[in-house]
Amino acid sequence: MDSDTAQGGTEGDLAKGDTAQDELVVVPLRHWGRWVGGAVILGVLGALGWALADAKIDYAAVPGFFTHDIMLRGLVNTVVLALAAQAGAIVLGVVIALLRRSANPVARWFAAGYVWLFRGLPVLLQILLWFNLALVFENISVFGLFEEKTNVLVTAFVAALLGLGLNESAYMAEIVRAGLNSVDHGQVEAAKAIGMTPATTLRRVVLPQAMRVIIPPTGNNFINMLKGTSMASVIGFLELIHAANNIASRNLQIMETLLAAAAWYMVVVSVASVGQHFLERYYGRGVAR
Amino acid sequence: MSLVRAVGVRKSFGHTEVLRGVDLTVDAGQVVCLLGPSGAGKSTFLRCVNHLETIDAGRIWVDGQAVGFTTRGGKLFELREREVARQRRGIGMVFQRFNLFPHRTAVENVAEGPVHVLRTSRKQALEEARALLDRVGLADKAGSYPHQLSGGQQQRVAIARALAMRPKLMLFDEPTSALDPELVGEVLDVMVDLARDGMTMIVVTHEVGFARQVADSVVFMVDGAVVEAGVPEQVLDNPRQQRTQQFLAKVL
């Protein structure tokens, strides 16, 4: 108690105005570490750039490969395959997610098994399995209404679509499930209370709100999908990598053609990121930030 | 003619019996307030009336129809969820936590039911929605999203949303319990107006003043059963049961 009073007294004296104190100059903290860190990073980048500039790469040839006919066909095929596989995966994913939440135990069990299987196998393996389907089923027939040779039906595109799409649908099912679970149960009750049927409730109330949670990981996955189409090169589908190899096989400019393909991947991925941004903004409406 | 008639309603969650045989009758145009300590089963009972909860035993009749069932050849057949949805159209409900659709504006919230349940034209539904918002004093908030509104404003939009379905019965589940004290009045005012207009209402509330002012009947529940029921002057001012006296001593 005594010391407290003594201290209080001292503070009072200090505050009372000592002109020397009022004139003290402030010295800002110098962040030396930041300067050193920044310099190191710039140094490394400079060295890397210098090395690349000096490398045995014919940069002048890259723009030509970038707009090469075969490369452009590869680009279109890459984008079409990614879009088709992702679209199918989203539809299937919603269905599997709904089955997972079903009151029917058999449906729940099936959905869990579906995710377990298609998420568990490497995509490349799945693509190869589909592509070689003809080895085990010579013909594909739907209850006798339709019959066709497997070889004709399962082209490289179809095999890649099935492999990429089914794998992705398992991930989409989990993403959609998380999105549906994120919607407050009070929302469903409010919808019921105004007489909405379960289907209308899902379409008008639950899914639009779940989208806010579903979009970011889906955008992430779509970017993965765009790059994942490169695996279809293994079964001879003419996507960007296959196109690059195709061109390089004639002129042996392997690095230059791969760089042109790399540039296209960056373009396509950037466009997808911008699209994701606008989708997020649309579905984020009505949410306080 | 009674609009709501509940007979021997029982409901359990797991091993906990929440409703132990509740009987209640509400005539058309009446306002009934359910009072009682928390855990008495008031909200659960209210949720049973529009089949948000299924009951284990007993019957609830609303406007001559058994809630959740259809009568055929002297038997009650359980309804499918989409048929239950049709029954719920005539019963409005207001929740403690408002439960407005956050991704739609106030006027869209109100028009949602008419457009997507009653299949009213969008133009007409929006027009009626604006009129309802005006009725609850929120004409200027039509374009606001719920998160831009205060709790009291959100609850008034929720009341307008329920009214948009032109219900013959309104259920209020502690409509002012989640509100800041200074916002309670504006919601109660809307409810008083509604009662004056002759709406049949069942209100679970802790607002004894509101019950005294508008209730035709006050029902006091404890431990899943009705302990005392009657006109407000009797139940609130001269309660016969000890449990009622104890409860009122605490809240008044």
Report how far residue A199's alpha carbon sits from residue A100's, in angstroms, rounded to the nearest whole number.
16
Local structure of residue A25 (DSSP, 8 states): P
**pLDDT: which is higher, B20 or A23:** B20
Closest to A96 in 3D by CA, of A75, A80, A84, A110: A110
Contact at 8 Å (CB) between A38 and A31? no
Interface probe for A, chosen from B99, B157, B174 (most Cβ of A below 10 Å), is: B99
Asked if the Cβ–Cβ distance from B147 to A205 is below 8 Å, we say no
Residue at B51: amino acid letter = H
Q: Is the ipTM of this complex over 0.85?
A: yes
Say which residue the tokens 């779940």 belong to: A210
Tell me, yes or no, if B224 comes closer than 8 A to chain A by beta carbon.
no
CB-count burial class (<10 Å; 0-12, 13-18, 19+) for B1: exposed
pLDDT above 50: residue B98: yes
With cut-offs at 50, 70 and 90, classify the pLDDT of residue A17: low
Q: Say if strands B16-27 and A146-149 run parallel, antiparallel, or are unpaired.
A: unpaired
Q: Three-class SS of residue B114?
A: helix
Q: Which residue carries 């709790």 as its tokens?
A: B151
Q: Quick one: which of A115, A85, A106 has its CA closest to A176?
A: A115
Contact residues, chain B, for A184 at CB < 8 Å: 99
Extract long-range pairs of A248-254: CB within 8 Å, 24+ residues apart.
A253/A58, A253/A61, A253/A65
pLDDT digits (tens, 9 = 90+) for A156-189: 999 999 999 999 999 999 999 999 999 999 999 9
Mean pLDDT, residues B199-220: 95
Average the pLDDT over B52-75 and give the result. 93
Asked if pLDDT for residue A18 goes beyond 90, the answer is no
Q: Indicate the pLDDT class of residue B27, thresholds 50, 70 and 90.
A: very high
Average pLDDT over all residues of chain B: 95
Tell me which residue has tokens 């009291």: B152
The predicted structure's pLDDT at residue A219: 94
> Cβ B165–A197 below 8 Å, yes or no?
no
The answer to whether residue B146 neighbours chain A at the CB level (below 8 Å) is yes
B231 CA: distance to closest CA in chain A (Å) = 29
- Across the interface, do B165 and A196 touch by the CB < 8 Å criterion? no
> Tens digits of per-residue pLDDT, A225-284?
999 999 999 999 999 999 999 999 999 999 999 999 999 999 999 999 999 999 998 888
Q: Which of A194, A286, A287 has its CB closest to that of B112?
A: A194
How many angstroms away from the CA of B49 is the closest CA of chain A?
11
Q: What is the pLDDT of residues B228-243, one digit of tens each?
A: 999 999 999 999 999 9
pLDDT band for position A140 (cuts 50, 70, 90): confident
pLDDT at A16: 57
d(CA A171, CA A110): 15
Q: Report residue A141 as tokens.
A: 């027939």
Q: Do A238 and A77 meet the contact criterion of CB atoms below 8 Å apart?
A: yes
CB atoms A194 and B89 under 8 Å: yes
Residue-level pLDDT at A19 = 77
Q: Which residue of B has its CA nearest to A212?
A: B103
Cα angle: B22, vertex B23, B28; to 5 degrees: 130
Task: Tell me the C-alpha distance between B94 and A190, whole Å.
Answer: 8
Residue B179 has what pLDDT?
94
Residue A15: the pLDDT is 54
Residue of A194, A213, A282 to mutate, interface with B, max B Cβ within 10 Å: A194
Residue whose token pair is 């088709």: A84
pLDDT at site A187: 97
Q: What is the 8-class DSSP label of residue B206? A: S
B157-187 burial, b if ≥16 CB within 10 A, otherwise e?
Answer: bbbbbbbbbebbbbbbbbbbeebeeebbebb
**What percentage of chain B reaches a pLDDT higher than 70?**
100
How many CB atoms lie under 10 A from the CB of residue B124? 12
List alpha helices for chain A, DSSP H: 2-15, 19-22, 32-54, 62-66, 69-100, 105-120, 123-131, 150-153, 156-182, 185-193, 198-200, 207-228, 240-251, 254-283
pLDDT value for A151: 84
Q: What is the mean pLDDT of residues B36-42?
A: 92
Residue A3: the pLDDT is 47
B145 contacts A190? CB cut-off 8 A: no
In A, what residues contact B, Cβ < 8 A? 184, 186-187, 189-200, 204-205, 208-209, 283, 285-288
B81 at interface of A, judged by CB pairs closer than 8 A: yes
What's residue A8's pLDDT? 47
Chain A contact set for B105 (CB, 8 A): 286
Q: What is the pLDDT of residues A71-118, one digit of tens each?
A: 999 999 999 999 999 999 999 999 999 999 999 999 999 999 999 999
Å from A192 to nearest chain B CA?
A: 6
User: Does any CB of chain A come closer than 8 Å to the CB of residue B50?
Assistant: yes
What tens digit of pLDDT does each residue of A45-84 get? 999 999 999 999 999 999 999 999 999 999 999 999 999 9
User: What is the pLDDT at residue B250?
Assistant: 87
Q: Which of A216, A189, A227 is nearest to A205 (CA)?
A: A189
Q: Find, among B61, B59, B47, B51, the residue nearest to B18 by Cα.
A: B47
Pairing label, strands B31-35, A146-149 = unpaired
Question: What are the tokens at B134?
Answer: 């005006």
Q: Token digits for B33?
A: 């307030």
SS3 call for B69? strand
For range B33-50, the mean pLDDT: 95
Judge contact between A102 and A279, C-beta under 8 A: no
Chain A nearest-CA distance from B79, in A, is 13
Closest residue, chain A, to B103 (C-alpha)? A286
Residue among B95, B99, B116 minimizing CB distance to A200:
B116
Q: What is the pLDDT of residue B224?
A: 95
pLDDT at B37 over 80: yes
Indicate yes or no: CB of A194 within 8 angstroms of CB of B165. yes
Is the pTM above the cut of 0.90?
no
How many helices (H) and strands (E) in chain B? Answer: 9, 12
At residue A2, the pLDDT reads 47
CB B117 within 8 A of CB A198: no
- Say what percent of chain B tops pLDDT 90: 95
User: Burial of A52 by CB count in 10 Å (0-12 exposed, 13-18 middle, 19+ buried)?
Assistant: exposed
Tokens of B160: 């307008």
**Closest by Cα among B66, B119, B28, B9 to A195:** B119
